[in-house]
């Protein structure tokens, strides 16, 4: 089930938040920066994955957060300057769909991934999200920031 909502993604009551990031270990802007600051242990794990080249385009890094929503980092772009790629987003989201029940999550919040700093068109990303999660049992909330 997919619901599109306007909200602060960090205020939603969900088991996990998925977002896009690069493979360079840098989270200095957008939602990634907020998550880095709020969950420093997650950031250290993510950075270590990047430094050991364990986090490649389309990969996911699942951080089990004992005190709040789990964080799923999706490698949507290699370098900051080059922007996100739709095929990387699709690959990462498919990995989430394949793994969410094993992780024990039933609800996921995701921003309009790749459409802000990543530079992709929402219509294209939206199509991918609906094709992957449209018939899923996972409760997916696509979040637009409130203005």
Could you tell me the domains of the chain? 2-144 (3.40.220.10)
**How does DSSP classify residue 82?**
G
Which of 118, 110, 4, 10 minimizes the C-alpha distance to 60? Answer: 110
pLDDT digits (tens, 9 = 90+) for 3-30: 999 999 999 999 999 999 999 999 999 8
- β-pairing, 16-22 with 60-63? unpaired
22 pairs with which residues across the strands? 77
Does the structure show a pLDDT above 80 at 71? yes
34 pairs with which residues across the strands? none
- What's the rounded mean pLDDT across residues 119-134? 96
Backbone angles phi, psi at 143, to 5 degrees: -110, 130
Confidence of residue 111 (pLDDT cuts 50, 70, 90): very high
Backbone angles phi, psi at 105, to 5 degrees: -110, 150
Residue 147: the pLDDT is 52
């Amino acid at each position: 089930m997919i619901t599109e909502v306007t909200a602060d993604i960090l205020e939603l009551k969900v088991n996990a938040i998925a977002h896009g990031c690069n493979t360079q270990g840098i989270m200095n802007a957008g939602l990634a920066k907020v998550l880095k600051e709020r969950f420093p242990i997650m950031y250290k794990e993510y950075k270590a994955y990047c430094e050991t080249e364990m986090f490649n385009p389309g990969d996911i890094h699942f951080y089990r957060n004992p005190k709040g929503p789990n964080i799923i980092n999706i490698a949507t772009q290699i370098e900051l300057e080059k922007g996100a790629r739709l095929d990387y987003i699709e690959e990462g989201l498919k990995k989430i769909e394949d793994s969410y029940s094993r992780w024990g999550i039933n609800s996921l919040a995701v921003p309009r991934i790749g459409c802000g700093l990543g530079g992709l068109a929402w219509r294209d990303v939206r199509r991918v999200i609906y094709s992957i999660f449209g018939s899923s049992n996972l409760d997916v909330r696509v979040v637009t920031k409130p203005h």
